[in-house]
């Protein structure tokens, strides 16, 4: 029998890479999607098959982390061996604007799911392993390098919510003997990264500037330093955590940090452009409280799980810039085609 997994946040960056990884390992993948008035499944459309297809390996269920009855129903229907809780309002700056919703989805949402699993395990006698998507943002102002023993010092409503989710997970592990693991992942990016996170915002702008569709890029704090890895490498660490004999907490990082300025410089240079000609500062992108320096020490993940990153900073930048140059070229062709159509009309 193939193993089955349930993923919250399957439509997000990590959800899409994790789905591909699990499918490659023969899993049946259940995913929770939010109802939206427009399609929100672009990142997983390539692995999704019609419900009438007997060979389908991805099953989508409507649900929301703010709705515990729905979560309970999906859990009972999917009866997974592994649950990956990736769903979240994941934007730090947005969490200052929507703090209550962020707490509801990210902190209480995790609690709701844990409580469903606790009951499901109790009344079915099944074994379910749970992965909680924790974040290096939880370290916030703590001195780098940060590892599993570093005390949390969250600096945003998002980070506070993730700290609460982390401790709910620890408590349910200890109180009910459940297999619950917290991944503490440092920033990870890809061509599928949301376009309002700084790396993708930069590489999208590089592509569009190169294609003549944009002439400026407005950014906030260029001095912040992050430990940026590739999302495809990081979902492998998530999976390894749930295959390990014991649950626990694991930092996942590259061990190298760069500033936003350095990312911008490298991304523009990868397209043969000088970043200083295009980047301008807009203070509206500054955060009320900033996280200045995140640098992870993933020794435990390497020693215990045999995990290490495969993609370095320059490969990541190149991958994202090339993908976004391709995307912008497509946009330019559509734009040119539309101009021609209108001039003929």
Rule CB under 6 A: which residues touch ligand G4F?
A: 90, 92-93, 135-137, 186-187, 196-198, 201, 219-221, 224, 226, 260, 285, 287, 290-291, 294
Question: Which listed option, ligand NAP, ligand G4F, none, makes contact with residue 219 (CB within 5 to 8 Å by class)?
Answer: ligand G4F
- Residues 225/257, Cβ–Cβ less than 8 Å: yes
Active-site residue, selected from the candidate residues 95, 135, 156, 161: 135
Got the DSSP string for 204-227?
A: HHHHHHHTTS---EEES-S--EE-
Among 95, 135, 146, 147, which residue interacts with ligand NAP (rule: CB under 6 A)? 135
Q: How far apart are alpha carbons 91 and 13 in whole angstroms?
A: 13
Torsion of CA 229, 98, 147, 25, to 10 degrees: -50
3-state secondary structure the chain: CCCEEEEECCCCHHHHHHHHHHHHCCCEEEEEECCCCCCCCCCCHHHCCCCCCCCCCEEEEECCCCCHHHHHHHHHHHCCCEEEECCCCCCHHHHHHCHHHHHHHHHHHHHHHHHHHHHHHHHHCCCCEEEEEEEHHHCCCCCCCECCCCCCCCCCHHHHHHHHHHHHHHHHHHHHCCEEEEEEECCEECCCCCCCCHHHHHHHHHHHHHCCCCCCEEECCCCCEECCEEHHHHHHHHHHHHHCCCCCEEEECCCCCEEHHHHHHHHHHHCCCCHHHCEEECHHHCCCCCCCECCECCHHHHHHHCCCCCCCHHHHHHHHHHHHHHHHHHHHHHHHHHHHHHHHC
Q: Closer CB to ligand NAP, residue 63 or residue 247?
A: 63
- Residues 61/32, Cβ–Cβ less than 8 Å: yes
First CA to last CA distance, the chain: 60
CB under 6 A: which stretch of 84-92, 118-126, 240-248, 329-337 binds ligand NAP?
84-92
Query: Binding to ligand NAP by residue 188, rule CB under 6 A?
Result: yes
The minimum distance between CB 342 and ligand G4F, in angstroms, equals 33
Among 3, 34, 93, 118, which residue interacts with ligand NAP (rule: CB under 6 A)? 34
The minimum distance between CB 136 and ligand G4F, in angstroms, equals 4
Q: Closer CB to ligand NAP, residue 108 or residue 222?
A: 108
The minimum distance between CB 272 and ligand NAP, in angstroms, equals 28
The minimum distance between CB 205 and ligand NAP, in angstroms, equals 19
Active-site residue, selected from the candidate residues 137, 168, 234, 278: 137
Assess whether 135 carries a catalytic annotation: yes
Q: Closer CB to ligand G4F, residue 192 or residue 201?
A: 201
Query: Binding to ligand NAP by residue 308, rule CB under 6 A?
Result: no
Query: Binding to ligand NAP by residue 203, rule CB under 6 A?
Result: no
Q: Closer CB to ligand G4F, residue 193 or residue 300?
A: 193
The minimum distance between CB 156 and ligand G4F, in angstroms, equals 8
Q: Closer CB to ligand G4F, residue 219 or residue 305?
A: 219
CB under 6 A: which stretch of 29-37, 214-222, 275-283, 303-311 binds ligand NAP?
29-37
Peptide bond into 158 cis (omega under 30): no
Assess whether 158 carries a catalytic annotation: yes
The minimum distance between CB 22 and ligand G4F, in angstroms, equals 21
Question: Which listed option, ligand NAP, ligand G4F, none, makes contact with residue 287 (CB within 5 to 8 Å by class)?
Answer: ligand G4F
Question: Which listed option, ligand G4F, ligand NAP, none, makes contact with residue 64 (CB within 5 to 8 Å by class)?
Answer: ligand NAP
Among 75, 81, 87, 180, which residue interacts with ligand NAP (rule: CB under 6 A)? 87
Among 90, 95, 156, 181, which residue interacts with ligand NAP (rule: CB under 6 A)? 90
Q: Would you name the residues annotated as active-site residues?
A: 135, 137, 158
């Amino acid at each position: 029998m193939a193993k089955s997994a349930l993923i919250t946040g399957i439509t997000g960056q990590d959800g899409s890479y994790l789905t591909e990884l699990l499918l490659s390992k023969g899993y049946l993948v259940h995913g929770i999607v939010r109802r939206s008035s427009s399609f929100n499944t672009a990142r997983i459309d390539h692995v999704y098959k019609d419900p009438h297809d007997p060979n389908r390996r991805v099953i989508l269920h409507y649900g929301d982390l703010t709705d515990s009855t729905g979560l309970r129903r999906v859990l009972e229907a999917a009866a997974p061996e592994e649950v990956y809780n990736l769903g979240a309002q994941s934007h730090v700056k947005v969490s200052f604007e929507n703090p209550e919703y962020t707490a509801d989805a990210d902190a209480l949402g995790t609690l709701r799911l844990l409580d469903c699993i606790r009951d499901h395990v109790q009344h079915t006698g099944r074994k379910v392993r749970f992965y909680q998507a924790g974040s290096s943002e939880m370290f916030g102002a703590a001195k780098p390098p940060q590892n599993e023993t570093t005390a949390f010092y969250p600096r945003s409503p998002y980070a506070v919510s993730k700290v609460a989710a982390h401790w709910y997970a620890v408590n349910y592990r200890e109180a009910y003997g459940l297999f619950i693991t917290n991944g503490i992942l440092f920033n990870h990016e890809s061509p599928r990264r949301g376009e309002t996170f700084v790396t993708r915002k930069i590489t999208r702008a590089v592509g569009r500037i190169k294609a003549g569709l944009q002439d400026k890029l407005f950014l906030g704090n260029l001095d912040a330093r992050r430990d940026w890895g590739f999302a495809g490498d990081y979902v492998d660490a998530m999976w390894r955590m749930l295959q390990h004999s014991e649950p626990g907490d694991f930092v996942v990082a590259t061990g190298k940090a760069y500033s936003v300025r350095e990312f911008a410089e490298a991304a523009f240079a990868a397209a043969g452009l000088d970043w200083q000609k295009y980047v301008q500062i807009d203070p509206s992108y500054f955060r009320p409280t900033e996280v200045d320096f995140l640098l992870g020490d993933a020794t435990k993940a390497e020693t215990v799980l045999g995990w290490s990153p495969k993609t370095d900073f320059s490969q990541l930048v190149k991958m994202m810039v090339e993908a976004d140059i391709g995307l912008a070229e497509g946009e330019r062709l559509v734009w040119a085609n539309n101009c021609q159509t209108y001039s003929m009309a």
